[in-house]
Structure 1
Amino acid sequence: MQYDVIVIGGSYAGMAAALQLVRARRKVLVIDGGQRRNRFASHSHGFLGQDGVAPGEIARAARAQLEAYPTLTWHDGIAETASGVRDEFVVRTANGESHSGRRLLFATGVKDDLPAIPGLAERWGKAVFHCPYCHGYELDQGRIGVIGTGPASVHQAEMLTEWGDVTFLTNGVVELDAATRRALRDRGVTIEEGRIARLDGAADAVMADGRRLAFAGFFTAPRCTPSTSLADSMGCETEETPMGIQLRTDATKETSVKGAYACGDVGRAPHSVSLAVGDGAWAGVNVHRSLIWPDGGR
């Protein structure tokens, strides 16, 4: 069987794209490994109509709605290889199956390269976050620690003063010139240049000199990279953003490989559930248009 579209990645962006396509009665295969990026968070915020709902519940409800459409096929598993050209793509899965499709859509998401601080990974999505619009309000204007990772952390610290009393923990990673220090202090940011030994308790930073700094929560700006190398193996070009590496796409979400598209966190920045859903819906529409007109109706 040849599918009109194979969507690799069945989280928010992938499902939003698939919805547009099955509603156009196109045959769609979604291949999903079940590793949502926000699986560590207990609640999702900032997504209209779903504010405060558990991420897993949003995903389950969306999948149930998709599976009501007869032209959808869902495969729980890992896509191991992707190859081919427009109208003749082939995706092989970990269980040995081979699937062909006219179009490919990468909605594989990204992986976060977290700071190597003991105790941080265990608190990721619970007391350590990256998006203030998703998690800032819940800290109730309390004391916020921004853990430095690079230049983007300065912007993050300045911005987070909208949500609480900010301490910028450079952790020996971020060098601050005089102008940057002045800009941070003008925003009311406290600068802490000691090294962090570990995170402890609910949201405490234990410093290398033994001091314990208590916070309502932390934010950090991890570097992101595509969660799989599938698109790279096909020759899809990537680009550097302030948040890390993503797949390069044009205005229609098509990658540098004709007929292969990308959406969600792997194909846009910044990142949130709302933005991923919108990006996925736009990608689904454009993939459908490309199946009608060779030039996508441009």
Structure 2
Amino acid sequence: MKHDVIVIGGSYSGMAAALQLLRARRRVLVIDAGRRRNRMAAHSHGFLAQDGADPAQIARTAREQLMAYPTLEWREGEAVQAAGERDDFRVRLRDGSEHRARRLLLATGVSDQLPAIEGLAERWGTAVFHCPYCHGYELNQGRIGVIAVTPMSIHQAQLLPEWGTTTFLLNGAIELDHDAENDLRARGVTIEATPIARLDGHADVVLADGRRLRFAGLFTAPRNAPATPVAQGLGCALMDTPMGTQLQTADSKETTVPGVFACGDVARMPHSVSLAVGDGAWAGAQLHRSLVFPGA
């Protein structure tokens, strides 16, 4: 059977897009590898009517609601390749099965390229974060550390004093010019140039000289890239952003390949659950329009 749409990625943006299409009574296949980007976090914040909720429960509830629509098919598995053209795309899963659709929607999310610091990956999403709007309030104005990765980290260090007393840990990753240093100090930011040896405890930073700095939480700005190579295999163009690379899309959320749309973290910045849901809803509606008005 040829579906109207295959959605690759069954997290927040993919489900939000699928909902619009299902409500238009379109045949939708969602392929989900089950690796939500925020799977390590216990609470989701900043999402209206769901503030503080378990992000896994938000996803479960959303899927349950989608399953009530009879034109939905849900497959748990990993899409490894996609090919074809507008009105005739083929998607192959790792299990060898192949599925066809008139349109594709890429909601694959991104991978986070974390700083190579001992103990950081284990604390990602629980004591080390990237979004202050998602996690800053819960630190209760405690001490905050910002671990430098790229020049984008300067902006992060400028912003974080809104949530607590901030220390900018350069860790040899960047050098501050005179203007940036003066700006940070004017905001009350402490600048720490000694390299980081490891993270310990809840959010303790052990420096190379043996000093231990205790924080309520840490922030860093990892580089992002599409979580899978499916889009590149289709020929979708990428674009550079201050956070890494993402898929290039038009206002309609269509990529540079006709008939292939993209939404969520893989196609917009900055990133949060609420922004992903909004982006997915818009992408789903615009994709539906491309089916109704194919010449537009």
Structure 1 Cα separation of the partners of residues 233 and 71 of structure 2: 29
Q: Does 1:218 align with 2:207?
A: no
Q: Counterpart of 2:232 in structure 1: which amino acid?
A: D
Structure 1 Cα separation of the partners of residues 211 and 80 of structure 2: 47
Tell me what 1:265 maps to: 265
In the TM superposition, residue 233 of structure 1 has moved relative to its aligned partner by 0.6
Which residues of structure 1 form unaligned runs of 5+? none
In the TM superposition, residue 215 of structure 1 has moved relative to its aligned partner by 0.4
In the TM superposition, residue 237 of structure 1 has moved relative to its aligned partner by 0.1
Structure 1 Cα separation of the partners of residues 81 and 116 of structure 2: 31
SS state at 1:231 partner? helix
In the TM superposition, residue 33 of structure 1 has moved relative to its aligned partner by 0.2
Q: Counterpart of 1:28 in structure 2: which amino acid?
A: V
Structure 1 Cα separation of the partners of residues 50 and 143 of structure 2: 27
In the TM superposition, residue 174 of structure 1 has moved relative to its aligned partner by 1.1
Structure 2 Cα separation of the partners of residues 191 and 231 of structure 1: 40
Tell me what 1:186 maps to: 186
Q: Counterpart of 1:38 in structure 2: which amino acid?
A: N
In the TM superposition, residue 80 of structure 1 has moved relative to its aligned partner by 1.2
In the TM superposition, residue 60 of structure 1 has moved relative to its aligned partner by 0.3
Tell me what 2:240 maps to: 240
Q: Does 1:274 align with 2:260?
A: no
Q: Counterpart of 1:17 in structure 2: which amino acid?
A: A
Structure 1 Cα separation of the partners of residues 213 and 174 of structure 2: 19
Q: Does 1:119 align with 2:105?
A: no
Tell me what 1:31 maps to: 31
Tell me what 2:130 maps to: 130
Tell me what 2:103 maps to: 103
Structure 1 Cα separation of the partners of residues 295 and 246 of structure 2: 24
Structure 1 Cα separation of the partners of residues 292 and 238 of structure 2: 27
Structure 2 Cα separation of the partners of residues 98 and 116 of structure 1: 38
Which residues of structure 2 form unaligned runs of 5+? none
Query: Deviating runs (4+, > 3 A) in structure 1?
Result: none
Q: Counterpart of 1:144 in structure 2: which amino acid?
A: I
Structure 2 Cα separation of the partners of residues 104 and 293 of structure 1: 16
SS state at 2:254 partner? coil
Tell me what 2:88 maps to: 88
In the TM superposition, residue 295 of structure 1 has moved relative to its aligned partner by 3.9
In the TM superposition, residue 209 of structure 1 has moved relative to its aligned partner by 0.2
In the TM superposition, residue 119 of structure 1 has moved relative to its aligned partner by 0.3
Count of residue correspondences: 296
Q: Counterpart of 1:84 in structure 2: which amino acid?
A: G
Tell me what 2:20 maps to: 20
% identical equivalent positions: 67
Structure 1 Cα separation of the partners of residues 26 and 221 of structure 2: 39
SS state at 2:96 partner? coil
Root mean square deviation of aligned Cα: 0.5
In the TM superposition, residue 46 of structure 1 has moved relative to its aligned partner by 0.5
In the TM superposition, residue 182 of structure 1 has moved relative to its aligned partner by 0.3
Tell me what 1:159 maps to: 159
Structure 1 Cα separation of the partners of residues 249 and 295 of structure 2: 15
Structure 2 Cα separation of the partners of residues 44 and 92 of structure 1: 33
Q: For each residue in 1:174-207, what CA deviation from the matched residue of structure 2 results, as whole angstroms up to 9, or x when unmatched?
A: 1001111001011111100000000000110000
